[in-house]
Structure 1
Amino acid sequence: MDMQMAERLQEALADPFDIAGHQLFVSASIGVATTPAIDPDTILRDADTAMYQAKKSGRNRCAAFHPGLHEQTSRHLRLASELHGALERNELRVFYQPLLSLTSGEVTALEALLRWEHPSEGMLFPEEFITVAEDAGLMPAIGAWVLLEACSQTAGWTQDHSGLSISVNVSRHQITEELIGHVQSALATSGLSPNQLVLEVTESAVITIANVAVLERLREIGIRISVDDFGTGYSSLVQLQELPVDELKIDRAFVQRLAGTDADAAIVTSIIELAHTIGLNAVAEGVETVAQAAAVRSLGCDSGQGFLWSRPVGSSSVPALLQRLKNPELSGRSLPSSGARGATPL
């Protein structure tokens, strides 16, 4: 198999499958090895290594094997072994980034963002170890810890900032019956109200029939569901109307191209109008400049999130961050229609 054949296979999977009246989308991460090795086991090993590289690059991709991938695979295995004890060694951290209303300028929520303070490699970001955790079957345990940590810390902050919500990313591997128990436990332990918890899922995760059933039960409890990085998946208007979703987060790539062509602005406008048409909130991710904030606000977006207001910060810095964002000049409440580039990260 060469790369062209792999790409043709992905094209064949692009069209939805109709199962019992539901449209299902299937994606594939494909690894290609064209090594002259005669040993079939070596070829399969190399192709498997390339497949992991495709998954790491964002899934639903093709990747060709090259010798340097062996080193990456070795690191993957090493991190998997070390991640098993990361919770017990208190190496995992939750950072927070605010979401602000684009009309009032007030902080309405915080997004919980996982970090791994690795003893020798320093602070690792999710893209460096989430796939490792998924492959090792560790995401349910890690996800449950993040939920409890984020809910407990937010419950403390709401004493001075009533109505504050917490948004927690949920891996597709977490969306099982077990997640319902983890959510209920985190809420009961922290005392946080269900309507103050938002679970962020990807488009591909939310359209799976089994996942829909779990998410519907969570919404019955009072949890809100947000579709993260919207615009990069396959959701249609018909699907969104039928799915248990409360919010669409516009992928940062679209927001950061707003100063480009009219077509870029049209995409963002369409997503916002789509959200509002079916009663959903629209959030712009990756807002880095005053001009971008003014642009998404003028298009009718409800909330914004990005470096303009703050980079993700540790829990100890959150109270000062919330206090700082009460200042209109720093929070972006009085945004002009256009402005100079700039950000006010902590």
Structure 2
Amino acid sequence: MEQFQLIRYLDENGNLLNNEVSEALSYGFIKELYERLILVRTFDRKAISLQRQGRLGTYAPFEGQEAAQVGSALALNGDDWLFPTYRDHAASITFGHSLKTIFLYWNGRLEGCVPPEGKRIFPPAVPIATQLLHATGAAIAEKRKGTDNAAIAYFGDGATSEGDFHEGLNFASVFKAPVVFFNQNNQFAISVPIEKQMNSETIAQKSVAYGIPGVRLDGNDILAVYFETKKALDRARRGEGPTLIEAVTWRYGAHTTADDPTKYRNQNISDIKRQNEDPLLRLEKYMKNEGIWDEEWKEEVSRAAVIEIEKAVEEMEAFPKPNIDDLFDHVFAEPTWTIKDQKEQYYEFLGGASK
């Protein structure tokens, strides 16, 4: 739709298309963006490696979507709320989540759902689109308390087919909730391509039905993501209500490590997109165009990321073994007979009585 043209600040060759932000693009800011992109991509690849080695459970990769997550999360204030899905660890890391804790989450640990002290990061939402309602509720609560805190909710293109998506946008619109609905349109809901997911040309245009702004941007352009998300958050803080952002991007790999994307899409497309649309490569080209690229610095940043991530892996694997009783004792306030029976059977299987 003409109303929802794709917004870009950087083209594929790293040329700046929006000179209005040039003064904000300090050397330090650009370096920070690149460092964060390197960290989260290294984390993602390490997590996949750990899963293949049997050291993590099933994992949902996000490589290819780093700019969408890092750029948007970096636009948040420290007291804002972040509501991620199971694929949004780059956003959570950027917002201050612990690498060790995220590894613990993928190791099936309860502790993996607990954010650092003072950080408002919800546990990753596995049910599709439920977090949009949570984000709306948190945003309305902040508004009633009189703060200028906002919330951001991440979700994929498949989530727009869920009722919670529409309910979340409707409530947020009616109550002018200070929330940004950040859609990462990676063009596949597991194996379902976008053209079979909806008949709309864009996801951004769905904002029209709720009387809120809709923005469609290049999700591989970290500058467009950062500045457009910041605009939406500033609007929310002024009491002007929610914004729907569609960040058009691509996941290079599988939906999860239990998935085989070659069964439903041509993986050669990923190879082409790596060459032409990769978020790290685009920022790297911009830095080269500006004469601020340093190959030795890049190597230092890469080494530092590996060291930080390896330390987090060591901490995760040195964590005390989980208490198996947690599986049974925290389902209900008082265990039902079915839970008690399952617990007894488990301990009988181990050869002893239950505690």
How does the TM-score come out when normalised to structure 2?
0.30
| Structure with higher strand content | 1
| Structure with higher helix content | 2
